Amino acid sequence: MRLNGDRYELSGEIDPLYLCNKYGVPLYVYDTSIMERQYKRLSEAFGVPSLKINFACKALNNITVLKFMRSLGAGLDTVSIEEVRLGLAAGFDPHSIIYTPNCVSIEEIELAIEAGVRINIDNISTLEQIGTKHPDLPVCIRINPHIMAGGNSKISTGHIDSKFGISIHQMPHVLRIVDAIGLKIEGVHMHTGSDILDVDVFLEGAEILLKIARHFKHLDYIDFGSGFKVPYKTDDISTDIEELGEKISERFKIFCSKYGHDLTLMFEPGKFLVSEAGFFFAKVNVIKQTTSTVFAGIDSGLNHLIRPMFYNAHHTILNASNPTGKPRIYTVVGYICETDTFGVNRLIPQLHEDDVLCFLNAGAYCFTMSSNYNSRLRPAEVLIHEGKDYLIRKRETMDDLMKNQVDIDIFQEKTKNA
Ligand SMILES: *Cc1c(COP(=O)(O)O)cnc(C)c1O
C-alpha cells in the first residue's frame, strides 16, 4: 500500500476504503502482483538447472490463491490430507504436491498415497510401515539436522527437542530399513522453522542435509524447506535471498557433480510468498482513555488475526482513514474476552471511532489461523489482480455457525415449586 497525497492506494490505484465499503469490514485483501514479485525474486536468486518452489498451503489456503500460485509455476507443500485435496481441487498435478505430515495416522498417509502425491516421511516407524506395504513407492524423508533456527521456540522446528523430522543420529537405522526393504528414497528434506535470518545458519543446515543425501542412490530432489524471513517493520532485517541463492546454488552444483547427475533443488516457502501480499482491514469501534493508556478497540480480535497474541508477532498498523493525521500513541486491542492485544504503544495517525485500520503482512498465517471464538464470524477475502478486485471468500453468516450443530430437543423445562 502506498501513500498518494493524503490517501493510501493498493496496486492498480485501488482505494482500500472503496474495497472496505464494497465488501464490508473486517476484510482480508491479497495482491497477486506482490506474490508474483516474491515468486520471481526467489526463483531468480537460484542459478541451478532444476528448481522447484512449492508454496506452503498452510500459510494461505484460499483456492484462488492456490490457482494463482499454480499459474506462476509453483508446486504445493501440504501438511494434511485436506490440504492435499485443496491442492487437487486447485488443479495441481498430484506429482507437484508434496505431503509432509507430522504425527498423522497411517490411514491418512495411505489416502495421500492413493491420491498420487509425493510422500515425505518424518518418523522411522512410519517409514518402516509404509515401506513394507509399498516397497516400490519412492518416498522422501524429512531430516532433523539439530540446528537452532527460527524466530522463536514456537516456530523453530529443527532443534534437538523438536518433534519434527528423523534425527540425523538415526541415519544408520534409516539405512537399515531402506536396504532391507529395497526402498527408493527420491528426496531428502529439512525444514528448520520459520524466520531464519542468518544465511550461514541456513548453509549449516544445508551442509548436514547434503551429507545425508550422499547415502541415497535414487534421489530426484533435495528440499531445503523454508524459513525465509520477511520484513514486518520498516527497519526489520530480512533474509538476504540473493546471497542465500548464490551460495546454496554454488554448493548444490558441486554436490550434483559429485553425485553424478543433476537433482532438483526444492524450497517450500509460505511467508516469503504471501506475507507482504496481504492486508487486513478493521474498523475502530471505540477510543477508550483510561488512567494510563489510550486504547483503540477494533471490530476484530484474535479470532481473525492471532499472530500478535500467539507468538508476539509485530504487525505494522496504519490508519487508512487518516493516513497523514498527527501521530499519537495507542494500544490497539480487539473485542475478544481474553488477552487480545494487537499492538502496544503504537504511533498511529490520530484515530477516530469508525476509522479503518490496516494491518500489514496479513497474507501468511492470518486468515488460515482464524476461528469462530466468541461465536464471531470470519471475514471475507478479496483478491486484487491486474487492477481489478474479486471476492474470493464470502463473509460467514449465522448459518455457518449453526450448520453443523445438531439441535436436539430433549429437555423438559423444570416448573418451579412443582
Ligand atoms: C510451515 C511449513 C513451511 C513454510 O514455512 P514459512 O516460514 O511460512 O515459509 C514449509 N515447510 C513445512 C514442512 C512447513 O511445515
Strands annotated E in 350-403: 356-359, 380-385, 388-393
The mean per-residue pLDDT over the stretch 249-258 comes to 97
CA terminus-to-terminus distance, the chain: 67
* Residue 131 dihedral angles phi and psi, to the nearest 5°: -60, -40
Measure the CA–CA gap between 393 and 383, rounded to whole angstroms.
Answer: 9
Question: How many whole angstroms from 379 Cα to the centroid of ligand 1?
Answer: 24
Average pLDDT of the segment spanning 134-155? 80
Which of 38, 60, 77 has the most ligand 1 atoms within 8 A of CB, as the residue to mutate?
77
Please state, for a pLDDT cut of 70, what percent of the chain lies above it. Answer: 95
Q: What is the mean pLDDT of residues 84-111?
A: 98
Does pLDDT of 150 surpass 60? no
Q: How confident is the model over 262-283, as a mean pLDDT?
A: 97
Nearest residue to 22 via CA among 356, 253, 286: 356
Residues 43-55: tens digit of each pLDDT? 999 999 999 999 9
Report the candidate in 301, 288, 280, 281 with the shortest Cα–Cα distance to residue 351.
288
- How do residues 324-363 score in pLDDT, each as one tens digit? 999 999 999 999 998 899 999 999 999 999 999 999 999 9
Question: Is residue 181 scored above 70 in pLDDT?
Answer: yes
The chain-wide mean pLDDT, for the chain, equals 94
Does the pLDDT of residue 239 top 70, yes or no? yes
Residue ranges around ligand 1 (CB below 6 Å):
56, 58-59, 77, 79, 100, 191, 194, 225-228, 268-272, 364
Cα 58 to Cα 191: distance, rounded to the nearest angstrom: 14
Between residues 331 and 145, the one the model is more confident about? 331
Q: What is the 13 CA–ligand 1 centroid distance (Å)?
A: 32
| Residue with more model confidence, 152 or 122 | 122
User: Band of the pLDDT at 146, cuts 50, 70, 90?
Assistant: confident
Which has more confidence, 338 or 277?
277
**Pocket residue to mutate for ligand 1, from 226, 232, 361, most atoms within 8 A of Cβ:** 226
Q: What is the pLDDT of residues 25-34, one digit of tens each?
A: 999 999 999 9
pLDDT tens digit sequence for 77-96: 999 999 999 999 999 999 99
Torsion of CA 14, 19, 25, 28, to 10 degrees: -60
CA angle at 187 for the pair 252 and 138, rounded to the nearest 5°: 150
Helix or strand or coil: residue 330?
strand
Residue 107: pLDDT band (50, 70, 90) is very high
Bridge partners (DSSP) of residue 189 are 142, 223
Query: Which residue's entry shows cell 495416522?
Result: 105
pLDDT tens digit sequence for 195-238: 566 888 889 889 999 999 999 999 999 999 998 888 888 888 78
Distance of CA 171 to the CA centre of its chain: 29
Q: How confident is the model at residue 413 (pLDDT cuts 50, 70, 90)?
A: confident
For residues 42-69, give the mean pLDDT.
98
Q: Does 337 qualify as catalytic in the annotation?
A: yes
Ligand 1, atom nearest to 120 Cα: 13
Confidence check: pLDDT of 417 > 80: no
Dihedral (CA of 291, 294, 300, 306) sign: negative
Average pLDDT over residues 116-141: 97
* Element spanning 43, H or E: helix 32-45
Please check the confidence at residue 194 and state whether its pLDDT lies above 70.
Answer: no
CA atoms within 13 A on the CB side of 283: 11
160 pLDDT higher than 80: no
Residue 260: exposure state from Cβ atoms within 10 A (0-12, 13-18, ≥19): exposed
**Probe ligand 1: pick from 194, 228, 275, 366, max atoms within 8 Å of CB?**
194
Question: Who wins on pLDDT, 126 or 414?
Answer: 126
Q: What is the pTM of this model?
A: 0.95
How much distance in Å is there from the Cα of 95 to the middle of ligand 1?
Answer: 19
pLDDT band at 154 (very low <50, low <70, confident <90, very high): low
Are 385 and 68 a contacting pair, CB within 8 Å?
yes
